[in-house]
């Protein structure tokens, strides 16, 4: 028997790549049907003209994540109400690459696009951490010296060694950062960045260490990415509400885990 809860948990991991939020939380998942060892997942996007490459990435991720569930032998993904739904559904369910399905339209595969969005997500989550730590009174010089050994999550809080790398047993507790820390760690791992205990904790998306002098510009650039994402999220969720009558988190017919997993709103 397929565990329905696990199916929903895996769906909660599927993100809109541009918005860096769970499809379920955004209200894009329409429904799930389990038939024996087969699972069908239906989803809809805010507009009929949502970019085919974005939609293809989401459909691929749904198929891959749900396919991990014990007992699942086949996953069928149904994108609905989309101008390219026939091509996307056929290609994804057959395991075809995007470039083959959209030959002549695709500029290579989706790997570099995925990495571009992973970089943006990493920078946005990191900006949230950096600004919160600055507000908590940790100076820029100390902040760029922090290592993985100097910080750890504890429940909803982030604990930071006050001496920022110097020998000290004094830790500062910054409440409300536990989930943001976890999401940032996930985005960091998606970029393949190492997490050594004694190396600088906060880096560029390419793994280069930050400097105190360069921190304001780093934060400014990340803020622009965040504001653009926030605008797109607002636009997409409002369009989805008008088109399908579904708002953010408005998925009461589905298990709670589907509404809260995957990266929304930290």
pLDDT tens, position by position, 127-162? 999 999 999 999 999 999 999 999 999 999 999 987
Structural domain including 96 reads 4-110+231-260
pLDDT category, 104, cuts 50, 70, 90?
A: confident
pTM for the full model? 0.85
Same domain, 125 and 213: yes
Same domain, 101 and 139: no
CA dist 63 and 32 (Å) reads: 12
**90 has a pLDDT exceeding 50:** yes
Same domain, 219 and 121: yes
**255 has a pLDDT exceeding 70:** no
pLDDT tens, position by position, 3-35? 999 999 999 999 999 999 999 889 999 999 999
pLDDT category, 256, cuts 50, 70, 90?
A: very low
Same domain, 82 and 12: yes
Average pLDDT, integer, range 24-50:
95
pLDDT tens, position by position, 195-251? 888 899 999 999 999 999 999 999 999 999 999 999 999 999 999 999 988 866 543
**263 has a pLDDT exceeding 60:** no
Q: Does residue 265 belong to any structural domain of this protein?
A: no
Whole-number pLDDT of residue 252: 34
How open is the CA angle 253-237-265, to the nearest 5 degrees? 80
List of residues 6+ apart from 126 with CB closer than 8 A: 184, 187, 202, 222
Same domain, 100 and 158: no
CA distances from 69 to 34, 39, 66, 226, 258 (A): 12, 10, 6, 33, 15
Same domain, 123 and 195: yes
pLDDT category, 189, cuts 50, 70, 90?
A: very high
Same domain, 34 and 138: no
Least confident of 237-241, 252-256, 261-265: 252-256
According to the per-residue pLDDT averaged within each range, which of 19-23, 83-87, 103-107, 242-246 is highest?
83-87
């Amino acid at each position: 028997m397929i565990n329905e809860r696990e199916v929903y948990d895996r769906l909660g991991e599927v993100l809109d790549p541009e918005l860096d939020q769970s499809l379920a939380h955004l209200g894009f998942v329409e429904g799930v049907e389990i038939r024996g060892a087969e699972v069908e997942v239906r989803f809809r996007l805010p507009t009929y003209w949502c970019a085919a490459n974005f939609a293809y990435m989401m459909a691929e991720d749904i198929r891959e994540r749900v396919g991990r569930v014990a007992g699942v032998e086949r996953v069928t993904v149904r994108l609905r109400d989309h101008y390219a739904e026939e091509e996307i559904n056929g290609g994804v369910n057959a395991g075809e690459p995007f470039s083959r399905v959209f030959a002549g339209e695709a500029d290579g595969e989706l790997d570099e696009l995925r990495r571009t969005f992973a970089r943006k997500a990493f920078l946005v989550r990191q900006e949230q951490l950096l600004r919160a730590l600055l507000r908590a009174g940790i100076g820029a010089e100390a902040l760029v010296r922090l290592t993985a050994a100097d910080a750890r999550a504890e429940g909803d809080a982030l604990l930071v060694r006050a001496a920022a790398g110097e020998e000290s047993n004094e830790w500062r507790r910054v409440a409300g950062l536990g989930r943001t820390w976890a999401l940032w760690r996930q985005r960091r791992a998606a970029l393949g960045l190492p997490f050594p205990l004694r190396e600088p904790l906060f880096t560029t998306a390419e793994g280069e260490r930050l400097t105190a002098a360069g921190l304001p510009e780093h934060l400014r650039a990340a803020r622009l990415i965040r504001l653009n994402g926030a605008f797109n999220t607002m636009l997409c969720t409002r369009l989805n509400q008008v088109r399908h009558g579904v708002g953010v988190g408005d998925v009461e017919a589905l298990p709670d885990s589907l509404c809260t997993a995957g990266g929304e709103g930290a």
